[in-house]
Amino acid sequence: MLFTLSNDRRKADTMQFGIFSVGDIAPDPTTGYTQSEAERISNLVRIAQRADEVGLDVFALGEHHNPPFVPSSPPTLLAHIAALTKRIILSTSVTLITTNDPVKLAEDYAMLQHVAKGRLDLMVGRGNTVPVYPWFGKDIRQGVALALENYNLLHRLWREDVVDWEGSFRTPLQGFTSTPRPLDDVPPFVWHGSIRTPEIAEQAAYYGNGYFANNVLAPNFHFKPLVDFYRDRFEHYGHGRREDAIVGLGGQAFIAKRSQDAVAAFRPYFEEYPIFRGSSLDDYMARTPLSVGSPQEVIDKTLTFQEGFGDYQRQLFSLDGLALPVEVALEQVELLGTEVVPVLRAEMAARRAPGVPDAPTHASLVTAKYGDADPRQPRPNPNRGDNLSGASPYQDSDPDSPARFPLAA
């Protein structure tokens, strides 16, 4: 059964603004210093805390299993961040739906949803690292099929208490229950991240999920055809108008009080970073969504995203990569949260077409499902046995019964 977020039921906290990190490590081109893994991980936590303090809505963390990146276990780090923050939504950017077991994803992120008290959603995608497939025993030639099948299973595991399932890429499931069940029996909202694969946009539209285009590293509005395709298919599947589709965009920015100071400070970090080496910062600023300049210049460029892609629900910025020192990254978060986002909130709201839905949150999804009623709180089923003996701990009152002590039986 598809879960449709209709206009009159989808209530949330307006458009969401935040940051995402891939947790990369590289030598600082101005000092030669390279952060250790321990420093980078600790600094990611500091950046997330600052984002929460300055009122940003989302902190998202990528998943990578190769140097020079450190976030190989987003649920672990995000759980720690959840304990240190108060209101910010935690997300991923992305979770590898191809090489992770969907059963483990269902359990890890449901647990994280509980730990974060609902401040969690999930972005799933194929990733961009070719060797990760054989590292986890997968075939990259099956990448799209893996993504589609694995998410289909994840979707069911979060919505059905008992799942029977058989597919092409993992062992079948018989009478399986993923635990814990989602908080309030409402799964985390899912974004499907893709910049080149129509099948992923189609899947997002089919389920009425969000679609996230990481609007970086490509010419301006390069991803508009995929966003438009997702909007059309969202409407096709009956979730609402194409304007109601849930769209998120990435972005990259470097901010300073004065434009010339921003360009001068950012130039060595950009032009010496491995994937940009040989590129011109000025050319990249002109041709791509990269925003480098004063707060007003970043605001003006971001507003062009709304003009080009239409009204959308989530804008995330990359601010901490390219070997930037943590103090510089923290200043970037501060400027974004205090001088850029407040203006963008007001401007985008004023330009927003009537009836465009807000970004989903756990609270809005609970209201959509239950209205004014209390949410369902799943509990262990006393009619199902444990994984070792098959015996239920609730069925045998004999204190000496072997069923109560299966290892001693």
Please report whether residue 10 resides in a domain: no
Query: What pLDDT, on a 0 to 100 scale, did the predictor assign at position 171?
Result: 96
Please report whether residue 311 resides in a domain: yes
Query: What pLDDT, on a 0 to 100 scale, did the predictor assign at position 281?
Result: 97
Please report whether residue 358 resides in a domain: yes
How many C-beta atoms lie closer than 10 Å to residue 51's C-beta?
Answer: 27
Please report whether residue 332 resides in a domain: yes
Query: What pLDDT, on a 0 to 100 scale, did the predictor assign at position 4?
Result: 35
Write the DSSP string, 38-55: HHHHHHHHHHHHHHHHTT
Please report whether residue 407 resides in a domain: no
Main-chain dihedrals φ then ψ at residue 241, nearest 5 degrees: -70, 160
The identity of residue 196, as a single letter, is: R
Q: Which domain holds residue 342?
A: 16-378
Written as six digits, the tokens of 199 are 């099948």
Query: What pLDDT, on a 0 to 100 scale, did the predictor assign at position 390?
Result: 53
CATH of residue 166? 3.20.20.30
Q: Give Cβ neighbours of residue 266 (< 8 Å, ≥ 6 apart).
A: 254, 281, 292
pLDDT digits (tens), the chain, 409 positions: 333 333 332 333 489 999 999 999 999 999 999 999 999 999 999 999 999 999 999 999 999 999 999 999 999 999 999 999 999 999 999 999 999 999 999 999 999 999 999 999 999 999 878 889 899 999 999 999 999 999 999 999 999 999 999 999 999 999 999 999 999 999 999 999 998 899 999 999 999 999 999 988 899 999 999 999 999 999 999 999 999 999 999 999 999 999 999 999 999 999 999 999 999 999 999 999 999 999 999 999 999 999 999 999 999 999 999 999 999 999 999 999 999 999 999 999 999 999 999 999 999 999 999 999 999 999 887 666 555 555 555 444 444 444 443 333 3
Query: What pLDDT, on a 0 to 100 scale, did the predictor assign at position 14?
Result: 82
Quick one: which of 167, 138, 153 has its CA closest to 203? 153
CA distance 308 to 306: 6
Query: What pLDDT, on a 0 to 100 scale, did the predictor assign at position 382?
Result: 63
Query: What pLDDT, on a 0 to 100 scale, did the predictor assign at position 383?
Result: 62
3-class secondary-structure state, position 321: coil
Query: What pLDDT, on a 0 to 100 scale, did the predictor assign at position 209?
Result: 98
Please report whether residue 395 resides in a domain: no
Quick one: which of 246, 253, 274 has its CA closest to 7? 246
CA distance 286 to 303: 15
Please report whether residue 132 resides in a domain: yes
CA distance 236 to 231: 9
Number of structural domains in the chain: 1
CA distance 295 to 256: 7
Please report whether residue 226 resides in a domain: yes
Written as six digits, the tokens of 2 are 């598809």
